[in-house]
Amino acid sequence: MNRELYNRTVPCKTEDERKSAELHGANDVFPDLLSHDLRGSMNVILNYSELLMAKNRSLTQLQQEDYIREVYLTALQTSNLLDNLLLWTQLKSRKITASPEVFQALDVINDLLFLIKTESKSGDVLFFDEFVADEWVKADIGMFSKIVKILIYNALQQSPDHGKVFIRMYKHDDVLSVEVEDQGPSLPEDLLNGTAGVESLMMRRSVMINQVAMLGLVVSRDLAELNDGRLVVSAQPGRYNRIGFTVPLASEIEIARVYEEIKRETC
């Protein structure tokens, strides 16, 4: 059963107090988190680069391609980490606001999938499971795209080799739900049952999902809430994890206005 990530009560503390405590804890753990992961990424890039430079003549073509791929994917992962960190700091300092517009969700996701398949060379593991023909939504298009990108990259990193990542979209009531499913290790139980926030889980080295992925969930949750949506998680242990978010559907009047604008531009 899907559970809203932040729809719960906490004894003895107000919601604002709990979030404030988690935020201060996250501030304490971020220097360690970043130094550990950035150091690891730079070591990978330097080690493979040194091999390519020092032993280039003795390496086979296949080895060279493998090393170059590792350097590229590690640099890409590091870039995504830094992007998420920048977004997190902007969100917490309230320096970023949503600029909603009306657009077709499937068009944006298809463009994003093309980019991700090109970047990650993972075109064989991304699938649409089930989706509506297309729906018009009202949200900040950049934030919408960023959430989907974070969830897909997290799923790709969590999934085993040759694992599949499924994407589905469906509408219910007045919102569109976008879900990304992977076949990686089961999500922490207290994340699923709503007894712990993502910031507090991010500070636990023992959780199965890594802390960099947790940072992505923090950013995704905050971006979704800025667009009047929610982050939602569910899982079936040993089979799949499913993380998604909701976004408001556009009204018929708003959609009609878009068509009118398109009509004027083509005349």
Of 92, 116, 147, the one marking the end of a domain is 92
What confidence category does residue 120 fall into, taking pLDDT thresholds of 50, 70 and 90?
low
pLDDT at 252: 92
pLDDT of residue 137: 96
Do 223 and 117 lie in a common domain? yes
Residue with more model confidence, 12 or 213: 213
Note whether 183 and 236 are same-domain residues.
yes
Question: Do 71 and 134 belong together in one domain?
Answer: no
Domain membership of residue 166 (yes or no) is yes
Assess if residue 138 is contained within a domain.
yes
211 contacts: CB under 8 Å, gap ≥ 6 = 29, 33, 37, 202, 203, 205
Are 68 and 88 in a shared domain? yes
Convert the pLDDT of each residue in 11-69 to its tens digit. 445 555 555 555 555 555 555 666 667 777 788 888 878 777 776 667 777 888 888 87
| Pair 54, 170 in one domain | no
Instruction: Give the residue-averaged pLDDT of 192-199.
Output: 49
d(CA 258, CA 264): 10
Query: Mean of the pLDDT values across residues 124-149?
Result: 84
Domain of 82: which CATH number? 1.10.287
Q: What CATH number has the domain bearing residue 142?
A: 3.30.565.10
Tell me whether residue 260 is in a domain: no
pLDDT (tens digit, 9 = 90+) per residue, 71-111? 887 887 788 788 888 888 888 888 889 999 999 999 999 89
In a domain, 4, yes or no: no
197 domain residue, yes or no:
yes
Query: Own/partner pairs for 141-147, CB < 8 Å, 24+ apart?
Result: 141/101, 141/103, 141/108, 143/98, 143/223, 143/226, 143/227, 144/103, 144/105, 144/108, 144/227, 144/247, 145/108, 145/112, 146/87, 146/219, 146/220, 146/223, 147/178, 147/220, 147/223, 147/224, 147/245
**Do 123 and 212 reside in the same domain of the chain?**
yes
Residues 129, 46 share a domain = no
Q: What is the mean pLDDT of residues 182-204?
A: 57
Question: Domain containing 78: what range?
Answer: 12-92
Residues 150 and 191 placed together within one structural domain of the fold? yes
Classify residue 106: in a domain, yes or no: yes
Among 65, 92, 119, identify where a domain stops.
Answer: 92
- Verify that 79 and 115 share a domain, yes or no: no
**In-domain check, residue 1:** no
Q: Is the same domain home to 88 and 106?
A: no
Higher local confidence (pLDDT), 267 or 84: 84
Residue 28, pLDDT score: 55
Chain centroid offset of residue 182 CA: 12
Q: Which amino acid is at 32?
A: D
Interior/surface letters 174-205, b for 16+ CB within 10 angstroms, e for the rest: ebbbbbbbbbbbebbeebbeeebbbbbbbbee
Whether residue 44 is found in the same domain as residue 114: no
**Separation between Cα atoms, residue 44 and residue 41, nearest integer Å:** 5
Regarding pTM above 0.85, the answer is: no
> Greater confidence, 267 or 11?
267
What are the tens digits of pLDDT across the range 148-191? 999 988 888 777 766 778 888 988 889 999 999 887 776 665 55
Report d(CA 206, CA 17) in Å as an integer.
Answer: 25
pLDDT grade for 217, boundaries at 50, 70 and 90: confident
Which among 95, 78, 86 has a CA at the least distance from the CA of 43? 78
Task: Count structural domains, the chain.
Answer: 2
Q: Answer yes or no: do 73 and 113 share one domain.
A: no
pLDDT tens string 218-260 = 889 999 999 999 998 887 777 778 899 999 999 999 999 998 8
Q: Residue 205 pLDDT more than 50?
A: no
**CA separation for the pair 139, 136 (Å, rounded):** 10
